[in-house]
Chains A and B, each alone.
Chain A
């Protein structure tokens, strides 16, 4: 009896001991990871600071100078603001159109790609890895790469940006669509097949109705991202409001009121579409 108690307390001691050792080791690892992370952040910041034209410490108190200039100039010329807003409205429409068209086209391609790369639904099951890799590549290529190359080949304007964003969207949405489609019920598809429906028909009538709400919700989320992308691509030469912003910035002081109008339009648009889309997405996912 006493012997058993003895070994018992011994083993608890052992368990306690090894538990504490584990905790200690875990703490050391955690601390080490944290230290490496902090080291990376600090040294990374110092390198970035070093390679930047203006330093962080000399620049951070100037951060507000530019917005202040823009605001004061816009305030001085506030009478002209509506005119500026009206002047840049068409290019805003162009930016929005780029986003809508590229989301639409990208979503259509993404839909086809996703169905072709989903197990159980694919038209050619052996080609699934092929379509998956294709989507990976489409997603990996930054839009700016495609846009710049297409601007060289096709000339400036909205089309290069539209194609660039559409390609990326096809890859990104294709992956998300495929994840949704994987969970869809196959019974309707089997039913349709038994009636002799073609692949396209069974997808249209058997799968799409099941996954449509989720697909739409993802497409809307992508649309929010694409509005930003289309504005930013404009800045590097693809037309729309981004191009106008880059032009207004190149003018420098004296035309900051126009820059303010563009900021206002862009900000308003992004917030507006974010709100509309998130409200609609909530409705879609709730049922």
Chain B
């Protein structure tokens, strides 16, 4: 009895020690993670984020990506009223034309109707009224550089008024008056002018009418005219966008396959089975490590100096980086080939090159191809980032659109296109893999 206790004692203590250690680990790991996250929160200044974050920007982003606004602007100094989509020159209505909710009466007078029944009127002598149901009529006038209104205290918080400017924001739209201009914004859903700009004769016509109806522009047939106006749309730049998408795919394609073609012969040099000289093998591996370690960012910067901005630079940056990655993985795959097949080919009297071609390549091809096709998809994503740095492709267009901080509907459009592009490449590389090496590979 005592004997058993004595023999069990060490086992018990060691088991208890193990429990204690596991307990410690079980508490220590979450504690360390938590401590690290607290450190991150402090060093990244999460508290200060509340001040830096701009809810206004967020709401602009949320509303502008799916809607557009039309500006009706009166120049308070020189006179004249214009209607422009997003306030852009390319979206300006020609003199004498306007949407049906705006009626322009001479240079300075106009009536603008909103959905909820409120009406803005531009009156002579830089005066204007904003007639809001359930509130009343706000009258305002610019006299000697200061704005006078009929507003009484207390002023509601959706009106922002000072001596030099007044801004009234309602659910239907927004009106502002400053010394230089009186302006009304009305918001609409959807992307305006996506198909045709206002100067195109096809603007405002339905698809069916363009395809089957009479000639709208007597000089051109409807379909070719509409296609060319769509393609050359100055606001949405469909031509440039298509080219940019093409450039992004091109960067990924050239980079990935170029890297694979260069890496394959080099991988033979780095593989123990095919390269007996340790020195050569080791130095080849160091080259791969170096190229990979330098990373696409530095390669992009270096290559952009030599080749300037554009898709070629991006393609070369991907090519160089991935040569390192492919070289490493290819040589690992080559280490694991079956010698029997090579011996079989050698027994027919084949020269080394033929031995590689028929003894080795068929064995490793599925593995390598799967790898390359997987990279094709991930490089499409890299190409958008690299494009933003070198200046090429859809990545550049996206960064530019974001930097202007007003074309949010274009930002939304580009983001959508990028996601579709990446998903397409994902599907395409999967499909190609299925066709070339079978589903299971």
Chain A: residues with CB nearer than 8 A to chain B?
Answer: 37, 40-41, 44-45, 47-49, 51-56, 59-60, 62-63, 65-67, 94, 97, 100-101, 104-105, 136-137, 140-145, 148-149, 152-159, 162, 228, 231-233, 235-236, 242, 245, 249, 263, 266-267, 270-271, 274
A155 touches B419 (CB 8 A): no
Report 7 cross-chain contacts, Cβ distance below 8 Å, ordered by A residue.
A53-B310, A59-B307, A94-B43, A97-B40, A144-B395, A148-B398, A232-B296
Task: List 9 tightest A-B contacts by C-beta distance, closest first.
Answer: A52-B310, A53-B308, A155-B52, A54-B308, A52-B312, A66-B305, A59-B307, A271-B293, A48-B312
Q: How long is the Cα–Cα vector from A55 to B308 in the complex, in angstroms? A: 8
Which residues of the partner chain B approach A140 to less than 8 Å between Cβ atoms?
A: 419, 422-423, 426
Q: Is the CB of A154 within 8 A of B52?
A: yes
Interface membership of chain B positions 51-71, coded 1 if the CB is closer than 8 angstroms to chain A and 0 otherwise: 011100110010000000000
Expressed in whole angstroms, the minimum distance between the Cβ of B174 and any Cβ of chain A is 21
Cβ-defined contact, A242 with B54, below 8 A: no
Query: Which of the segments B115-123, B351-359, B385-393 contacts the partner chain?
Result: B385-393
- Which of B4-12, B155-163, B229-237, B249-257 contacts its partner? B249-257
Give Cα A157 to B46, complex, Å.
Answer: 10
B49 at the binding interface (Cβ < 8 Å)? yes
A212–B150 Cα distance when bound, in Å, is: 71
* A236-B311 contact given A41-B254, A162-B44, A245-B301, CB 8 Å threshold: no
Could you say which of B251, B297, B391, B411 has the most chain A C-beta atoms within 10 Å of its C-beta? B297
Q: Is the interface of B mostly helix, strand, loop or mixed?
A: helix
Contact flag A41-B258 (CB < 8 Å), given A63-B303, A236-B388, A271-B293: yes
Residues of B within 8 A of A (CB): 33, 36-37, 40, 43-46, 49, 52-54, 57-58, 61, 243, 246-247, 250-251, 253-254, 257-258, 289, 292-298, 301-303, 305-313, 315, 381, 384-385, 388-389, 391-392, 395, 398-399, 402, 405, 411, 415, 418-419, 422-423, 426
Which residues does chain A contribute within 8 Å of B388, judged by CB atoms?
144, 236
Chain B neighbourhood of A154, CB < 8 A: 49, 52-54
Contact status A41-B257, CB under 8 Å: yes
* CB–CB A44/B254 < 8 A: yes
Contact of B302 among A63, A104, A157, A228 (CB under 8 A): A63
Give the chain B neighbours of A231 by CB distance below 8 A: 295, 297
Q: Give the distance to chain B from A150, nearest Cβ to Cβ, in Å.
A: 9
A101 B308 Cβ-Cβ under 8 A:
no
Q: A137-B419, A142-B422 are in contact. Are A97 and B43 (CB under 8 A)?
A: yes
Beyond known contacts A141-B418, A232-B385: 10 more, CB 8 A cutoff: A48-B310, A51-B310, A52-B312, A140-B419, A144-B398, A154-B49, A155-B54, A245-B301, A270-B292, A274-B289
